[in-house]
Chain A
Amino acid sequence: MYPREFEYIAPSDLDEALAALDANPGAKVLAGGMSLLPMMKMRLLSPDAVVDIGRIAGLDQISDNGDSISIGALVTHAEVAASDLVMEHGAALATAASWTGDRQVRNRGTCCGSLVHADVAADQPVAALALAATMVAVSSSGTREIAAADFFVDTMMSALEPNEILTEVRIPKAGPGTASAYDKLGRRGGHTDYAVAGVAASVTRSNGSISAATVAVTGVGSKPVLVGEVADALVGSDGSEAAVEAAAAHATCGIEVLEDLYGSVAYKTHLAQVFTARAVNAALSAAG
């Protein structure tokens, strides 16, 4: 577990960090290091430089913007999981963060880091998708807002440019009748470890029927994805058990389900349906 030699840069403010990224093409941004460092130690990744943003002030806050909440680049999984604000407006993300890694990882790893890492079996990207989060990407040439739906490009590949830093993820506040939930099967059973299949759902109930829904699935394909077919089937329905089950049947629509050590295609397809139903039902019951 010995990484190749790299330059370690620890800027004290954001401009310095962005300049370092410009000056070192191929540099990687280090926040919690829970994914980056193991990859470097296994030499799966050998950046010439690492820009540690851990000393930059102002990135470690969860803040209330009025119509949205922001989670800064240095906010840990544990902080997301324990945040009343996140629980109120993005329960799916709080839950996903509480099931990410183990306690040590949750105390060091960051929400934004997990989103940028874009692991195919990670928990939090689907929560960001279901919550229609906005990624705030900053570079020396300005700030870009990227919709979560456009952010997860492929396996371990996000829309972030090499010279950009994801400084915050912004989640719209949940309006009346809106709630979200996340459920999964972890690799070691229950909710522990990476998701064999995981589903985040956000629903809005009005006048006895579902007026809006977003559902995203992780673990089963090559990236976390929004499954519009499930949402379409839910919207306008009464949210009954039968309606949810019928909608969940579409859980892997448009997804090429991939076999791995933890599941066959048939099993993962089935799990995506099971957890779609469970997440949607949990969101519906939270929505009241």
Chain B
Amino acid sequence: MSSTSVLGGVVRRREDPALIQGRGRYTDDVKLAATAHVAFVRSPYAHAQVGSVDTSAAAAMEGVLAVYTAADTDHLGPLIAQVPVGALRPLLNSGTVKHVGEAVAMVVAEDPYVAKDAADAVEVDYDPLPAVVDLKHSLSDEVPVHEGASNTLISWVGPFGADEAALAELQQGIEAAKQRDDAVVVSQEMTNQRLIPVPIEPRSVMADYQAGYDRFDIYSSTQIPSALAGAIGKYFGMSMNQVTVKAMEVGGGFGCKLNVYNDEVLVAFASKHLGRPVKWTETRREAANSTIQGRGWVATATVTGTEDGEILGFELEGIADMGAYSQNFTVAIPFLGLFVGSGQYGFPTYWKMDCVTTHTMTTDAYRGAGRPEAAYYLERIIDMYARRIGMDPADVRRKNYISSSEFPGAVSPMGFPMDTGDYATNLDAALETAGWSDLLAERDAARAEGRYVGVGLATYVEVCGFGPSGLVDLGFSWAEYQMPSAFNGSSLVRVHPDGSATVSIGTGPSGQGHQTTWAQIVGDGLGLDVERIRVIHGDTEEAPPSIGTFGSRSAAVDGAACYEATGKVRAKAARIAAHMLEASEEDIEFADGGAHVAGAPDSSVSWGEIAACAYQPHRLPEGLEGGLEAHAIFSPGNATWPFGTHIAVVEVDPDTGDVDLLRYIGMDDCGNVISPMIVDGQIHGGIAQGIGQAMFEDAVYDADGNLLSGSLVDYILPTASDLPSFELDRTVTPTDVNPLGVKGIGEAGTIGSAHTVVNAVVDALEPLGVTHIDMPLRPRRVWQAIQDARA
């Protein structure tokens, strides 16, 4: 970074004026002449044999262009999954439907109202079958989700790479510890409930097949435009260069747009079949049953430790809900949990999650994706253990951390090399900021008055920004989408003849502020004002192939590619400037919109002058090619492992069970920070979603597989007015796996927060003897826990 670095300074998000004024362009804003509209006929049953599908009345309605059933689309094959363990989703299903909301038929009409009317007019005979929803029930295989197949798709067992003998030895060691005289064993079964992602912009896709050119323009609210282009090409026998995917503004994704969906393929199919642009935008209630969901674990966490706070072993055994079909990552999500199964601690850890199917919508990546779940179990049970032995929960954690002296080179007990970490410093900073001992004293004073005030603390480590490129050998390549690796960043930086610059990245933001961050990186590298830098993202035609925006990877992987491409451009520009200024290349510095000779600021050329020269090859030094642009593909040395400490203060009304969240303190460490305001914004949103899980959100299914909380009346999302102002600060432990020293931050807030709130509420109710309450901590649950404890 240059001495005049704009990195790390507070920069306002460049994208916000358009977004908050309603001038951003989202997929549903794209208007093409003769666009037709889609409505889906969806199963009202969680498990049913489909009999006849009578489309005649719908097809006869005025304005209806086509009604498609599985007979029309089965030739395309099922929906592609990256980790194809288990049954794949049929694009349309006329056989046995496996969840409420599964698509049975697709209507295309002149407008969306007619399409919906016609979808309602399609008559489908269903013969309902028994459904399995409960995870333990599924594990028993009593009711198969898919006839003839076990409901258990895979069991993830950790430490990673341990063979049977090593696992047996590990378990024996933990068993032996339990037999020690001073052993304290704390065990609790806990549910980490299913969640519905609910981005503010619903999913939307529009396909425009241009028969005259045999090519597609696809507009989609997706986190993975390049993968969608690869998938569409594969389905329709086209090259990737015949398919352009444009992810316009994307209004939130949180992982739920990190899938290629059957509707995207079907809309493309209809466009090609009808020769017209075809659009579909999901409705909220539709989304609840046809866009992936997250979480959904039931597991028992056990800590074995000594009376003085030394943890001798941690075990987690449980079941994770995959839903009915495997989509993009589905079974891989709990594996991401295994990655951080031992958190930031050094104690022996045994970890096993069975991934089972149910007659519900598919689960997949939802902000944090396996890591919030893993952290939840670990941080809840450590808190229970601390309470049991009467030790300050901060002290228990500090005592069991992997020491900062083990970095670099630390390997987690789960078997993964970690980049950098300094957990105790971060913990102490959080305690200091919160005024920990004062908080505890205030809590005790409130208790003495008969009030139920609680202080909760949790710490976390996450893993994100996955790399290096060679991780494809683990089996998580994106080859199914014609993407050779999901572990690289890619960026193209071009300086135009007038000295302005464009940075193109194939991924796009869904709220992460890429318009600002990429411009900062390029601007810093070139000494160019960010206003002179255009950012192109999410467009597979204009930007190099990239993976997508997920897994907190953008800054650490694509941002690093952006940095390296910028470095290449600067290096070339330095040669040109040196030639123009008759100076040595090593003496060229970039600042204030141009280059100058070190120590001689008057001896300078502007970027416009450098670029003009670059595009006139005859003026260039001998051997230098014309043009001024560079592409970089960056493969990080490892994933990054951000960490942090969160603290919550709550008060519970014992008469109603109502929880009042009084304070929330976040001390996060994501290494170097490019844009503090954007990092804080990411943490804000992450914490809000974690609190949402802790207190409000719940995808509730009945025993027949009906989603009871499928509308926003009953699926309660956190809003700004439900939350206190977060008190955020950070420690800075740069990573060594990318040149920027940055770690991911998109998911950290979510990974640190749910258990922090639960720990606080349980702390508030400690005088009553409450030890655990399953999320969400709605008043009814809290009140019931109080009643049970009193009984």
Chain A complexes with chain B:
yes
Interface residue ranges, A against B (CB under 8 Å)? 1-5, 42-43, 102, 185, 187-190, 192-194, 196, 261-264, 267, 270-271, 274
Known A-B contacts A185-B658, A261-B714; the reply to A192 vs B721 at CB < 8 A is yes
Q: Which residues of B contact A43 (CB under 8 A)?
A: 116, 120
Binding stretch for chain A, among B135-143, B220-228, B416-424, B775-783: B775-783
Cβ of B449 within 8 Å of any chain A Cβ, yes or no, is: no
CA gap between A208 and B100 in the complex, in Å: 61
Decide if A2 touches B721 in the complex (CB within 8 Å).
no
Q: Identify the closest chain A residue to B709 (Cβ).
A: A261
Decide if B709 touches A196 in the complex (CB within 8 Å).
no
Decide if A42 touches B700 in the complex (CB within 8 Å).
no
Known A-B contacts A5-B113, A188-B716, A193-B716; the reply to A262 vs B722 at CB < 8 A is no
Q: Which residues of A contact B655 (CB under 8 A)?
A: 274
Other-chain contact of A261, B112, B283, B708 (Cβ < 8 Å): B708
Known A-B contacts A189-B660, A196-B780, A267-B780; the reply to A4 vs B117 at CB < 8 A is yes
Known A-B contacts A192-B722, A193-B716, A271-B656; the reply to A2 vs B778 at CB < 8 A is no
Smallest CB–CB gap between B445 and chain A, Å? 24
Other-chain contact of A2, B112, B659, B708, B713 (Cβ < 8 Å): B112
Q: Identify the closest chain A residue to B657 (Cβ).
A: A267
Q: Identify the closest chain A residue to B784 (Cβ).
A: A267
Smallest CB–CB gap between A227 and chain B, Å? 19
Smallest CB–CB gap between A122 and chain B, Å? 12
Decide if B658 touches A262 in the complex (CB within 8 Å).
no
Known A-B contacts A1-B284, A192-B721; the reply to A187 vs B716 at CB < 8 A is yes
CA gap between A286 and B285 in the complex, in Å: 44
Q: Which residues of A contact B721 (CB under 8 A)?
A: 102, 192
- Can you identify 26 A-B contacts, CB atoms within 8 angstroms? A1-B283, A1-B284, A2-B112, A2-B113, A102-B719, A187-B716, A188-B696, A188-B716, A189-B658, A189-B695, A189-B779, A192-B722, A194-B713, A261-B698, A261-B708, A261-B709, A261-B714, A262-B780, A263-B780, A264-B780, A264-B784, A267-B780, A267-B784, A270-B783, A271-B656, A274-B655
CA gap between A187 and B696 in the complex, in Å: 9
Smallest CB–CB gap between B485 and chain A, Å? 40
Cβ of B711 within 8 Å of any chain A Cβ, yes or no, is: yes
Other-chain contact of A190, B657, B658, B698, B700 (Cβ < 8 Å): B658
Q: Which residues of B contact A5 (CB under 8 A)?
A: 113, 117
Q: Which residues of B contact A189 (CB under 8 A)?
A: 658-660, 695, 722, 778-779
Q: Which residues of B contact A188 (CB under 8 A)?
A: 695-696, 716, 722
CA gap between A5 and B118 in the complex, in Å: 12
CA gap between A270 and B698 in the complex, in Å: 23
CA gap between A274 and B656 in the complex, in Å: 8
Q: Which residues of A contact B659 (CB under 8 A)?
A: 189
For residues 90 through 133 of chain B, which have their beta carbon under 8 Å from a beta carbon of chain A?
112-113, 115-117, 120
Smallest CB–CB gap between B700 and chain A, Å? 6
Q: Which residues of B contact A271 (CB under 8 A)?
A: 656
Q: Which residues of B contact A262 (CB under 8 A)?
A: 778-780
Decide if A2 touches B658 in the complex (CB within 8 Å).
no
CA gap between A239 and B779 in the complex, in Å: 29
Q: Which residues of B contact A264 (CB under 8 A)?
A: 780, 784
Smallest CB–CB gap between A91 and chain B, Å? 22
Q: Which residues of A contact B120 (CB under 8 A)?
A: 43
CA gap between A273 and B473 in the complex, in Å: 62
For residues 646 through 682 of chain B, which have their beta carbon under 8 Å from a beta carbon of chain A?
655-660
Q: Which residues of B contact A2 (CB under 8 A)?
A: 39, 112-113, 115-116, 283
CA gap between A187 and B713 in the complex, in Å: 10
CA gap between A43 and B659 in the complex, in Å: 35
CA gap between A252 and B786 in the complex, in Å: 22
CA gap between A123 and B195 in the complex, in Å: 28
CA gap between A5 and B660 in the complex, in Å: 45
Q: Identify the closest chain B residue to A187 (Cβ).
A: B716
Seed contacts A1-B283, A2-B115, A5-B117; 5 additional CB < 8 Å A-B pairs? A2-B116, A4-B113, A102-B721, A261-B708, A274-B656
Q: Identify the closest chain B residue to A42 (Cβ).
A: B285
Mask of B559-576 contacts with A, CB within 8 angstroms, 1/0 = 000000000000000000
CA gap between A188 and B709 in the complex, in Å: 14
CA gap between A104 and B110 in the complex, in Å: 33
Q: Which residues of B contact A185 (CB under 8 A)?
A: 656, 658, 779
Pick the most buried of A43, A189, A263: most chain B CB atoms within 10 A of its CB: A189
| 10 A-B pairs closest in CB distance | A2-B116, A1-B283, A263-B780, A2-B113, A189-B658, A267-B780, A274-B655, A185-B656, A188-B716, A2-B112
For residues 686 through 717 of chain B, which have their beta carbon under 8 Å from a beta carbon of chain A?
695-696, 698, 700, 708-709, 711, 713-714, 716
Smallest CB–CB gap between A146 and chain B, Å? 28
Mask of B620-661 contacts with A, CB within 8 angstroms, 1/0 = 000000000000000000000000000000000001111110
For residues 753 through 791 of chain B, which have their beta carbon under 8 Å from a beta carbon of chain A?
778-780, 783-784
Q: Which residues of A contact B117 (CB under 8 A)?
A: 4-5
CA gap between A5 and B120 in the complex, in Å: 13
Pick the most buried of A1, A5, A43, A102: most chain B CB atoms within 10 A of its CB: A1
Q: Identify the closest chain A residue to B658 (Cβ).
A: A189
Pick the most buried of B657, B660, B779: most chain A CB atoms within 10 A of its CB: B779
Smallest CB–CB gap between A82 and chain B, Å? 18
Q: Which residues of A contact B711 (CB under 8 A)?
A: 42
Smallest CB–CB gap between A168 and chain B, Å? 29
Q: Which residues of A contact B283 (CB under 8 A)?
A: 1-2
Smallest CB–CB gap between A84 and chain B, Å? 25
Q: Which residues of A contact B716 (CB under 8 A)?
A: 187-188, 193
Q: Which residues of A contact B708 (CB under 8 A)?
A: 261
Other-chain contact of B700, A194, A261, A267 (Cβ < 8 Å): A261
Smallest CB–CB gap between B674 and chain A, Å? 35
